[in-house]
A and B are shown apart, each in its own frame.
Chain A
Amino acid sequence: DTAVSQTPKYLVTQMGNDKSIKCEQNLGHDTMYWYKQDSKKFLKIMFSYNNKELIINETVPNRFSPKSPDKAHLNLHINSLELGDSAVYFCASNSDRANTGELFFGEGSRLTVL
């Protein structure tokens, strides 16, 4: 059983399209995250949700909209895709109760915008 699963793993699309990436965790965690990893492997947090409530919202274009229907899911919707959105997007989760707890990552979703 995969602890944090993301779909799709690969996504190739044209500029201007709208796409979504889904994430689910079966660890019972209450906090979920989206990270963006660029071509140089630099990892940057985008959003964090705790029990469906937005906690961290870093400076990302408002074309990116996270949605958390329940605490086990955090989806990322991207409108009007641009070339610079090409990256690997990682979902992660952890338990807020374990204040020093580790992050559990999904395998990543590689988005390529043509």
Chain B
Amino acid sequence: GDSVTQMEGPVTLSEEAFLTINCTYTATGYPSLFWYVQYPGEGLQLLLKATKADDKGSNKGFEATYRKETTSFHLEKGSVQVSDSAVYFCALSDQGYGQNFVFGPGTRLSVLP
């Protein structure tokens, strides 16, 4: 079945550092790819998405590129802020009826001032 693998956390960075969170996937079809973010005590919310190969999703200074050849969707940000501290989930959805989303295990990011 489909699956998503993320780098294990926690990741601790200083403010203004460069962030990369690796994500790779396995899927039988051509999934859409997503990054969701969960701030403390809240539900998940969409950060960015890409629906086909070579698409780049971006939002709030974060970006990720759908790489079909390496089955990857790594999340990057050039300069993190304390407010970016959260848990980040990579996810895919197949194109079928009912849209079964598959989530990675999440990566906790802590940004220190």
Contacts and interface: CB of A to CB of B under 8 A. Distances in A.
Contacts of B44: 43, 90, 92, 103, 105
Given A102-B46, A102-B49, A103-B46, A56 B100 contact: yes
Interface stretch (A59-67, A71-79, A93-101): A93-101
B101 A45 contact: yes
Given A40-B105, A43-B89, A100 B49 contact: yes
B58 interface: no
Chain B interface bracket (under 10, 10 to 19, 20 to 34, 35 or more): 20 to 34
B51 interface: yes
| Residue from B36, B89, B101 with most neighbouring chain A CB atoms (10 Å) | B101
B70 to A, nearest CB: 21
A48 B100 contact: yes
Contact of A41 (B42, B87, B98): B87
Contacts of A55: 97-98
Contacts of A106: 43
Nearest to B52: A100
Interface string A6-46: 00000000000000000000000001010000001111110
A96 B45 contact: no
B45 A31 contact: no
Nearest to A99: B95
Contact of B34 (A50, A56, A102, A105): A102
Interface of A: 4, 31, 33, 40-45, 48, 50, 55-56, 90, 92, 94, 96, 99-103, 105-108
23 contacts: A40-B105, A43-B103, A45-B100, A48-B98, A48-B100, A55-B97, A56-B98, A90-B44, A94-B99, A96-B97, A96-B99, A99-B95, A99-B99, A100-B95, A101-B99, A102-B49, A103-B44, A103-B101, A105-B43, A105-B44, A106-B43, A107-B41, A107-B42
